[in-house]
């Protein structure tokens, strides 16, 4: 039985003061989630990671991105040791906004996934097709390549620490969420690839759906056997909305 997981991706939102307000409120949110045996977390901007982690140390707090290199001449980048120093144990990898605007590829994602796992951190690896690829019927080959190339070289032992998010690009921030049937079909497909790669460990890996998830539609996804939670952007920003997501997740 996989634990349900709800992660709020704040993207480039919230100042440190705003993040602090949410972090204080998240102490009650976490109690509520724990009472329902649900894991919750957020991915603030780098500047707010410490304030959120310090205010609520038991909350999952992840970065939105990380550089695979330990240090060096990479202006503007943040490394794994810098995150670990703040007590951060998770990072998103390959969010579609990073793939689209910052030219991230399956190969660069793979370097990040391997570096995070080598440092005993949890990569929340995001995959998903664009609208054009969806309309051309290419969802599965695209997602398969993202999974196989992005997770290349991951050992069966380390695979236990992976979390995957299926986020069709056409549904992120658009209000056009994928139907629960489409989401389940792709999440099931992802699990079959994970089984091919990692055997029985695949049954332990949490697979989230993301893309215009709201308090009003989260329940339908959670009823599907291969969807173990949600990665939520817009609807994760306000405390009330986050509380409703927890309420309705199961
Ligand atoms: C996301 O940022 O990963 C996301 C799914 O955003 P939204 O929920 O706003 O579509």
CA of 16 relative to ligand 1 center, distance in Å: 21
Residue nearest to atom 7 of ligand 1 (CA): 233
Q: What is the pLDDT along the chain (250 residues), one digit of tens a residue?
A: 899 999 999 999 999 999 999 999 999 999 999 999 999 999 999 999 999 999 999 999 999 999 999 999 999 999 999 999 999 999 999 999 999 999 999 999 999 999 999 999 999 999 999 999 999 999 999 999 999 999 999 999 999 999 999 999 999 988 888 999 999 999 999 999 999 999 999 999 999 999 999 999 999 999 999 999 999 999 999 999 999 999 999 8
Using CB distances shorter than 6 Å, the residues near ligand 1 are 9, 11, 167, 172-173, 210-213, 231-235
CA of 233 relative to ligand 1 center, distance in Å: 4
Residue nearest to atom 6 of ligand 1 (CA): 233
Q: 3-state SS of 170-215?
A: HHCCCCCCCCHHHHHHHHHHHHHHHHHHHHHHHHHCEEEEECCCCC
212: CB partners within 8 A, 6+ apart: 171, 172, 173, 174, 175, 176, 177, 234
Q: Which of 164, 234, 244, 245 to mutate to test the pocket of ligand 1 (most atoms within 8 A of CB)?
A: 234
CA of 11 relative to ligand 1 center, distance in Å: 9
Q: Which of 171, 209, 211 to mutate to test the pocket of ligand 1 (most atoms within 8 A of CB)?
A: 211
- Pair 250, 230: CB distance under 8 Å: no
193: CB partners within 8 A, 6+ apart: 144, 147, 148
Report the predicted TM-score, pTM, of the whole model to 2 decimal places: 0.97
Atom index in ligand 1 nearest the CA of residue 171 equals: 10
Atom index in ligand 1 nearest the CA of residue 11 equals: 2
User: Measured between alpha carbons, how far is 148 from 4 in angstroms, rounded to an integer?
Assistant: 24
CA of 71 relative to ligand 1 center, distance in Å: 30
Q: Hey, which residues are catalytic here?
A: 95, 167
Q: Which of 110, 116, 136, 114 is nearest to 127 (CA)?
A: 110
Beta bridge partners of 42: 8, 61
């Amino acid at each position: 039985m996989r634990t349900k997981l709800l992660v709020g991706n704040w993207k480039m939102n919230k100042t440190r003061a705003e993040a602090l307000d949410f972090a204080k409120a998240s102490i009650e949110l976490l109690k509520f989630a724990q009472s329902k045996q649900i894991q919750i977390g957020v991915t603030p901007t780098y500047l707010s990671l410490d304030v959120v982690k310090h205010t609520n140390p038991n909350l999952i707090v992840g970065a939105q991105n990380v550089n695979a290199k330990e240090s060096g001449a990479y202006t503007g980048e943040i490394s794994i040791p810098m995150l670990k120093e703040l007590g951060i144990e998770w990072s998103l990898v390959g969010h579609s906004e990073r793939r689209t605007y910052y030219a991230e590829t399956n190969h660069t994602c793979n370097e990040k996934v391997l570096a995070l796992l080598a440092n005993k951190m949890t990569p929340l690896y995001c995959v998903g097709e664009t609208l054009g690829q969806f309309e051309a019927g290419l969802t599965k080959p695209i997602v398969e390549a993202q999974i196989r190339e992005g997770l290349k070289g991951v050992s069966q032992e380390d695979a236990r620490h992976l979390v995957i998010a299926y986020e069709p690009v056409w549904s992120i921030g658009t209000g056009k969420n994928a139907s629960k049937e489409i989401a389940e079909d792709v999440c099931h497909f992802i699990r079959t690839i994970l089984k091919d790669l990692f055997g029985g460990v695949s049954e332990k890996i949490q697979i989230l759906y993301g893309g215009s998830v709201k308090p009003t539609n989260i329940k339908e996804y959670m009823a599907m056997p291969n969807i173990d939670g949600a990665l939520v952007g817009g609807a994760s920003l306000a405390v009330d909305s986050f509380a409703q997501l927890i309420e309705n997740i199961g």
